[in-house]
Chain A
């Protein structure tokens, strides 16, 4: 059940009717004196799955981290569902939103990390129900029930009471995916989720993600080195270089017929 819009929309455009799920407006990100992103503008439509590719240091991970508010936005605005995420414009001035407002916004966003970042002091189940119970205020019994069905879905139904540190990397990552999904996010950010895994464990994790892509209409923003996977699941691929979008389009176009020499060099170096 692929999302209705965008699957075959014209390359490079996301201008569909309705509000974009994510909008970057004049985004700038500096770390000290180095500028990582500059004047970045793009939108992601609801239900769209976008893969960010590019050489390391091109700012792709920073984009995900900005959406998750893990990095401070040093310039411009990010909108989620048309609402400002961290900063807004007031009387022509850029002002920071109260952290509570921002946190209310981030509940719609989930993220899966390269290093899993499961909490070792909680069991697998506790990891998954922590936020639904204490952030969304769900009744515990309901959260547990949902967590268990999510664990079934990622193939770890029997691991609910284990400590994360006793699981393999691939299992930990699948728990992390379940944990993110337990918040029923509208947007899921996947930051090189298979990079820390042994090669033989990558398949399981990608399988779970493929399943999510096929059965839900969650908006996804991915950074990955698994080009085959990117080609299968994404509607659009954006090639970054030096903090700028070098080119973008449907996966077939980017992978088979890249316009830029740099894209070609990059693709041949990773494939």
Chain B
């Protein structure tokens, strides 16, 4: 076991490189995801069919064809078309396209969930369509979409592990190297999984913060906040009649898992 730790200590610089690669992919992939999600998501709420339909087709295409296919397409097929992308760009591109398509659906459904009266209030004040969206609708939709985006962001982090298939030296690849040099599968992979888990936890906390801020802007308290849950637990203990349904808040897309810290 001490051998393992010596090996790990010597391996730390390499491990850090792997973590950096994973973080670069996550952050750049997330930025791409958000841009794609907002563009396609808004297009899908457009009144014009010429914007709505192509956006819908793009979204269904990238949701339906699997991340790895998209990654291999960028990595293997693009050079044949005369476009040589750096592997890391392939990774970022595939992650952004795939999770961007999923997130676009979140953006669309959140915008659709904003009360119709808000649109009407904005029209009654003669706000321009851009101003209406930027100042009235989107900030309210944003509060609805953050929990689902948090789930997708963690899925994106997990998805980055596939770049080890296209020669990139990310955290997963480095951990496999650690396994080979320590010859201890349990040791190497436990460390790897814990690092991923910590990054995911940080992402979740960051998104919880964004969500608290977004809902505070709406003058509401975040539903199912830690304080709420504490109160709910106390109520549940004190009084069996408390309504458990009221604390289970589903995001706009019911398929996604609820939020809250990993614990």
Contacts and interface: CB of A to CB of B under 8 A. Distances in A.
Touch between chains A and B, by CB atoms below 8 Å: yes
Nearest to B135: A130
Interface residues of A, number: 32
A109 B139 CA distance: 26
A107 interface: yes
Interface in B120-147: 120-129, 131, 135-136, 139-140
Which among B120, B125, B135, B139 has the greatest number of chain A C-beta atoms within 10 A? Answer: B125
B219 A166 contact: yes
A163 B124 CA distance: 20
Interface in A68-119: 68-70, 99, 103-104, 106-107, 109-111, 113, 115-119
B220 interface: yes
A69 B126 CA distance: 10
A227 interface: no
B249 interface: no
Contacts of A163: 218-219
Nearest to B123: A70
A107 B115 CA distance: 23
B125 A68 contact: no
Contact of A121 (B120, B125, B218): B218
Nearest to A120: B218
A70 B120 contact: yes
B118 interface: yes
Contact of B121 (A103, A104, A109, A113): A113
A165 interface: yes
Contact of A135 (B118, B121, B127, B220): B127
10 contacts: A68-B124, A99-B129, A111-B124, A115-B117, A119-B135, A130-B135, A135-B128, A163-B219, A165-B220, A183-B126
Interface of A: 68-70, 99, 103-104, 106-107, 109-111, 113, 115-122, 130-131, 134-135, 162-166, 179-180, 183
Kindly list the 8 A-B residue pairs having the minimum CB-CB distance in the complex, ordered from nearest: A163-B219, A117-B121, A131-B125, A117-B117, A165-B219, A111-B124, A121-B139, A120-B218
